[in-house]
Structure 1
Amino acid sequence: MKQTCLVILAAFGAILPAMASGAQVWPMKPLRAVVPAGAGSTVDIVPRVVFEQLSAQLGQNIVVENRPGAGTTIGSTLVAKAIPDGHTFLVNSSAHTITPALYHNLAYDAARDLTPVVPLGITPQVLVTSPAKGYRTLESFIAASKARPGAFNFSSVGLGTSTHMAAERFRVSANLSVVHVPFKGGGEAMSEVMAGRVEFFFGPVGLVLPNVRDGKLIALAVNSAKRSSALPDVPTMREAGLSDAEYPFWFGLFLPAQTPRHIVDRLNRETLTALQAPKVRDRLATLGIEPMAMTPQEFGTYVEQEFRVNATLVKTIGLKLD
């Protein structure tokens, strides 16, 4: 009997390390990256730049699944309700922290059901206008707008999008009376500005940069804390005299809540490593994406602050979508 017990104990001792090792194995199959925006959008392009390198590091394919619609909530709901095993994750942008303030009947809780893992980068949004309008500084633009209350308009890629909210934060900070004209895409929103039918547009650096370089648009200011490396001669809003108009556009990865911490931490580490690869870093730089290295805890704190900023802004402008 004693010998039998020793055999059982020995076998159990051999099994325990294997069980512990098995618990740490991740990923065990291809990863599913849900992008709550259409193919070809900035939110879709940025993670694809990173995923080739990340996939090689993890030894598994990363399959991108575009689930656009309903202000990014369709894709976000899918991930929030996914099995928390680390094989399905969300790629979202600043929109993640805007939607809770806009929609009161969401099928998920953005703050509790999705865990911030790692930011992929951040980009300023640029206030652009037509060269034909004659504005060369933000100060002259604001003065012209205040001289004609309600006469100026701005374009966006839709109600409640970051391009809309950036313009609203600028409007509130500068105390302007302007009219919002939403469009379905960035190309159309910019074209209307270039044609002179719309006064201004806020867009991510990567979106507006080609037209700025070609002289089709004039960049008056960026809404980040520091100047963009892609547009070093363009001042920040603060440099131009506005103290509360910052509203950059960021991208990040989120996992379902209850995902094991070791998976969250590893995905964070591997992604940060991928972001340091020269080909990834250089490609993101051409898109105007600046580094934003953070731990999961730091990113979580940042996201919490963004929830508060957007809740306040939405309340201030009185915007509701449901």
Structure 2
Amino acid sequence: MGETAVNRREILKAGMGSLTAVAAGLPAMGPARAADWPTKAVRVVVPYAPGSATDLVPRTVLEQVGHDVGQSFVVENRPGGGTTVGSNQVKQADPDGYTMLIHSNAIVTVPAIQANVPYDPVADFSAITPLGNVPMVLVVAPSKGIKSVKELVAKAKANPGQINYGAAGIGTPPHLAMERFRLAAGFEGQLVPFKGAPEALTETMTGRIDIYFAPITPALPLIRDGKLLALTVASSKRASALPDVPTSIEAGVPDSDFDFWVGAFVPKKTPRDVVAKMHASIVKAIKTPSVQEKLGKLGVEELIMTPEAFDARIAKEAVIAKKLAKDAKIEPQ
């Protein structure tokens, strides 16, 4: 009878706790449930095409997370709407720790240049941590005969508006990196948007696109095979995977640097203890030697932040993105 009474009291306590949470408008998830996360597969929405940096990086990291926690992390590619389709699906998902969004800086840049975006990057998502920093490299087909940033800028200025440049979506980091570089270098050009990096890289290799600021992850094999020539990287320091390629600032274009990260997010009302558990699991995976080796081969550089610091960075970058869009005269579409 004693055991029955204890069990009854525990059930009543648990029930009252859930009722209290509901009455307070909070998700009914207590510490025990957060401590047990995950008890089932986690859905991972990537609003980019397969093969892009924002697809390859999370697959590498989350495979290890799944191994560590004993549950599957199922990646779903949901491109479309300039990344807004997949992002909105996660915004509307239950905030229970079982739906994750993998995004890049585009989570803040897309709302800065696209009209009627169905989410607010600050109000609708909680940031977990960046998964890594992905240097962007400006590539050109060897057949173009352009071997340096100096030669590129000279050719672009000699033929105003004739240079065309690719971008994996409007308002994405590769797009804004190119716009920042173009404005700083002082030349005009024609934007050609694509659905993803693989398509843009193919068109650049053929010479149909003159230049493309590509995430280093999908571009690196093509550079190493001599199919593309790397002119410069957009990051504030040289990429460890391409140590001989100068930064755009080193190449003579001041105020042209632009960092590109890939990060993990969940719906805003996800309990903070669950966010903390997810953060710890992801950081542990990133620190695993085998994962670091794989990320290194992809050209990804380590970038880890606390959820609070990453939230603050998102808010800051949202303001910066709006200013860059205004300076580039990108009208909301």
Is the structural similarity TM-score above 0.5?
A: yes
Letter in 2 for 1:141: L
Residue 82 of structure 2: SS of its match in structure 1?
helix
Superposed displacement of residue 211, structure 1 = 1.9
Tell me the alpha carbon deviations over residues 74-105 of structure 1, each in whole angstroms, 9 at most, x when there is no partner. Answer: 11111112121111111111221112112332
Which residue number corresponds to residue 22 of structure 1? 32
Q: Give runs of aligned pairs for residues 208-247 of structure 1, distance below 5 A.
A: 208-247=219-258
* Pair 1:166 & 2:177 matched: yes
Match in the other structure for 1:276: 287
Distance in 1 (CA, whole Å) between partners of 2:207 and 2:120 is: 41
| Counterpart amino acid of residue 144 in structure 2 | K
In the alignment, the residues of structure 2 paired with residue 184 and residue 140 of structure 1 have an alpha-carbon distance, to the nearest angstrom, of 29
Task: Report the CA distance between 1:249 and its aligned residue.
Answer: 2.2
Task: Quote the residue 1:93 is aligned against.
Answer: 104
Give the 3 Å change call, closer, same or farther, for CA 74–185 of structure 1 in structure 2.
closer
1:307 paired to 2:311 = no
**In 1, distance between residues paired with 2:92 and 2:12?**
33
> 2: CA distance between counterparts of 1:72 and 1:188?
16
* 1:148-297 alignment, distance < 5 Å: 148-297=159-308
Establish whether residue 52 from structure 1 lines up as the match of residue 35 from structure 2.
no
Question: What's the counterpart of residue 23 of structure 2?
Answer: none
**TM-superposed deviation, 1:116:** 0.8
How far residue 175 of structure 1 moved from its aligned partner, in angstroms, is: 1.3
Structure 1 residues 247-269: Cα deviation after superposition (integer angstroms, max 9, x where no partner):
23211110111211111111111
Flag the 1:214–1:307 CA change in 2: closer, same or farther, 3 A.
same
Q: Structure 1 residue 133 and structure 2 residue 144: aligned?
A: yes
Structure-2 residue corresponding to 1:3: none
Distance 1:121 1:278, change over 3 A: same
Cα distance in 1 between the residues matched to 2:315 and 2:236: 19
1:71: how far off? 1.2
Q: 2:43 matched to 1:32?
A: yes
What is the CA RMSD across the aligned residues, in angstroms?
2.6
- 1:65 and 2:76 correspond: yes
Instruction: Tell me how far 1:223 sits from its aligned partner.
Output: 0.3
SS in 2 for 1:141: helix
Alpha-carbon displacement from aligned partner over 1:6-59 (angstroms, at most 9, x marks no partner) = x98997589769976534432232211111223333322211111121012223
Identity %: 42
Unaligned runs of 5+ in 1: 1-6
C-alpha spacing 1:23/1:190, structure 2 compared with 1 (3 Å): closer
* 1:147 matches 2:158: yes
1:43 equivalent among 54, 57, 70:
54
The answer as to whether partners of 2:134 and 2:299 remain within 8 angstroms in 1 is: yes
- 1:82 alignment partner AA: A
Aligned partners of 2:31 and 2:273 also within 8 Å? no
- Specify the code of the residue in structure 2 equivalent to 1:230: A
Deviations 1:226-249 (A, max 9, x none): 111110000111212223212232
Equivalent position SS for 1:308: helix
Q: Does 1:78 align with 2:100?
A: no
Q: Residues 52, 310 of structure 1: CA spacing in aligned structure 2 closer, same or farther, 3 A cutoff?
A: same
Change (3 A) 1:193 1:41: closer
Structure 1 residues 316, 41: CA separation in 2 closer, same or farther (over 3 Å shift)?
A: same
Contact 2:114 2:171 in 1 (8 A): no
Moved more, 247-256 or 229-238: 247-256
Q: What runs of 5+ residues in structure 2 fail to find an aligned partner?
A: 18-29
Structure 2: distance between partners of 1:197 and 1:69: 24
CA distance in 1, matches of 2:92, 2:196: 29
Give the CA deviation at 1:159: 2.8
**For 2:48 and 2:109, how far apart are their aligned partners in 1?**
15
TM-score normalised by structure 1 residue count: 0.89
Greater Cα offset, 292-301 or 145-154? 145-154
1:104 aligns to what?
115
Q: Distance in 2 between matches of 1:195 and 1:32?
A: 37
Say if 1:284 and 1:59 are closer, same or farther in 2 by CA, change over 3 A. same
Using the size of structure 2 for normalisation, the TM-score is: 0.86
